[in-house]
């Protein structure tokens, strides 16, 4: 048995030793008296702490069969073709995490760059999901860039061209990974949003963004190469490969909907579909990137 002294328990619980003595005398904490000393089983102390953990409302309830979060054409194809039974609620990365945190979705997809710029999603998941058993699994790495009309009529080659050429820029809503990335890139490149020709309306999904550009209702927007290819648009790469992760609770990973999704991701049909799009890197698909 792995035993702890009163001092070690006090340090573990971040209490004073006197407080631990008082709790033991009142039988408020599991302990053993031997040779005139108090000893504590580490396993029993850990179980005692777990038994007093306040869990989020709805922690034990089964979530509805919904995928919420960022839109991704390859993922949405796989959810349909796999027979996962998950409905798709493509409402942006942060909204997806909110649905997951409130027990309103089985799984959320996101691509939010961490503030330090060195990685994606981990800091956001750690900060915004209350469950102790949350896990993030890599779906794909995707190439981000500017979507423009076929033939690139305004001759846009980089972000620095946006103030001078004044394309009608259609943004994604606040809370989406693409919007967060666009705002960060504008700041990093020393550009002022007031100098850009930003449209008042926003595109709920990347498909909506691509449709508006294809129909000449907008000239430019930030999106992934795969969407540009699907809608026949030109794509201006920005040398950005973002990480798209699927977030869920560990218990739900082993349920049929998620298992069916990852099963089809190992199929030949899936690989052919991915190859028909542009800008996907699937080398890390299925890798655990965060384990709460």
Same domain, 15 and 80: no
| pLDDT computed for residue 133 by the predictor | 85
Range name among 61-65, 79-83, 245-249 with the lowest pLDDT average: 61-65
Same domain, 133 and 211: yes
Domain interval for residue 27: 3-51
Long-range contacts of 195-199 (CB under 8 A, 24+ apart): 195/163, 196/162, 196/163, 196/166, 196/169, 197/162, 197/166, 197/167, 197/168, 197/169, 198/169, 198/171, 199/168, 199/169, 199/170, 199/171
Whether 56 is in a domain gets the answer no
pLDDT digits (tens, 9 = 90+) for 148-160: 999 999 999 999 9
pLDDT above 60: residue 1: no
Q: What is the mean pLDDT of residues 69-74?
A: 93
Same domain, 112 and 44: no
Q: What is the mean pLDDT of residues 121-133?
A: 83
pLDDT above 80: residue 54: no
Q: What is the mean pLDDT of residues 275-290?
A: 92
Q: What is the mean pLDDT of residues 116-140?
A: 84
| pLDDT computed for residue 170 by the predictor | 96
| pLDDT computed for residue 85 by the predictor | 93
Question: pLDDT averaged over the chain?
Answer: 89
Given 51, 73, 89, which residue is the final one in a domain?
Answer: 51
Same domain, 145 and 290: yes
pLDDT above 80: residue 36: no
Same domain, 19 and 41: yes
pLDDT digits (tens, 9 = 90+) for 173-211: 998 999 999 998 998 899 998 999 999 999 998 999 999
Between 37 and 207, the more confident residue is 207
Same domain, 149 and 214: yes
Same domain, 40 and 161: no
| pLDDT computed for residue 46 by the predictor | 82
| pLDDT computed for residue 113 by the predictor | 86
> Could you tell me the pTM of the whole model?
0.77
Same domain, 67 and 183: yes
Total of domains in the chain: 2
Between 42 and 35, the more confident residue is 42
3-state secondary structure the chain: CCEECHHHHHHHHCCCHHHHHHHHHCCCCCCEEECCEEEEEHHHHHHHHHHCCCCCCCCCCCCCCEEEECCCHHHHHHHHHCCCCCEEEECCHHHHHHHHHCCCCCEEEECCECCCCCCECHHHHHHHCCCCCEEEEEEEEEEEEEEECCCCCCCCCCHHHHHHHCCCEEECCCCCHHHHHHHHHHHHCCCCHHHCCEEEEECCCHHHHHHHHHCCCCCEEEEEHHHHHHCCCEEEEEEEEEEEEEEEEHHHHCCHHHHHHHHHCCCHHHHHHHHHCCCEECCCCCCEEEEC
The domain that holds 105 is classified in CATH as 3.40.190.290
Of all residues in the chain, the percent with pLDDT exceeding 90 is: 58
Q: What is the mean pLDDT of residues 18-30?
A: 83
Same domain, 28 and 68: no
How does residue 58 score in pLDDT terms, banded at 50, 70 and 90? low
Same domain, 227 and 288: yes
Whether 83 is in a domain gets the answer yes
The domain that holds 39 is classified in CATH as 1.10.10
pLDDT above 60: residue 57: no
Q: What is the mean pLDDT of residues 260-283?
A: 93
């Amino acid at each position: 048995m792995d035993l702890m002294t009163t001092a070690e328990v006090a340090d573990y619980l971040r209490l004073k030793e006197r407080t631990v003595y008082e709790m033991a005398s009142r039988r408020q904490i599991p302990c053993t008296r031997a040779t005139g000393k108090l000893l504590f089983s580490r396993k029993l102390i850990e179980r005692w702490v777990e038994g007093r953990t306040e869990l989020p409302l709805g922690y034990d309830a089964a979530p509805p069969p919904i995928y919420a979060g960022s839109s991704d054409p390859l993922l949405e194809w796989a959810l349909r073709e796999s027979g996962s039974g998950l409905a798709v609620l493509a409402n942006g990365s942060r909204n997806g995490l909110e649905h997951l945190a409130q027990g309103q979705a089985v799984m959320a997809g996101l691509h939010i760059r961490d503030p330090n710029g060195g990685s994606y999603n981990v800091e956001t998941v750690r900060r915004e999901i209350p469950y102790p058993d949350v896990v993030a699994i890599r779906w794909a790495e995707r190439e981000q860039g500017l979507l423009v009309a076929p033939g690139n009529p305004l001759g846009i080659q980089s972000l620095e061209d946006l103030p001078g050429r004044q394309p009608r820029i259609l943004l994604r809503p606040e809370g989406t990974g693409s919007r967060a990335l666009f705002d960060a890139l504008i700041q990093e490149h020393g550009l002022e949003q007031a100098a850009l020709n930003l449209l008042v309306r926003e595109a709920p999904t990347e498909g909506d963004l691509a449709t508006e550009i294809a129909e000449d209702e907008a000239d430019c927007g930030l999106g992934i190469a795969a969407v540009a290819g699907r809608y026949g648009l030109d794509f201006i790469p920005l040398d950005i490969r973002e990480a798209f992760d699927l977030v869920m609770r560990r218990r739900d990973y082993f349920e049929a909907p998620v298992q069916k999704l990852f099963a089809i991701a190992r199929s030949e049909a899936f690989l052919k579909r991915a190859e028909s799009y542009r800008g996907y890197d699937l080398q890390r698909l299925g890798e655990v990137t965060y384990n709460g």
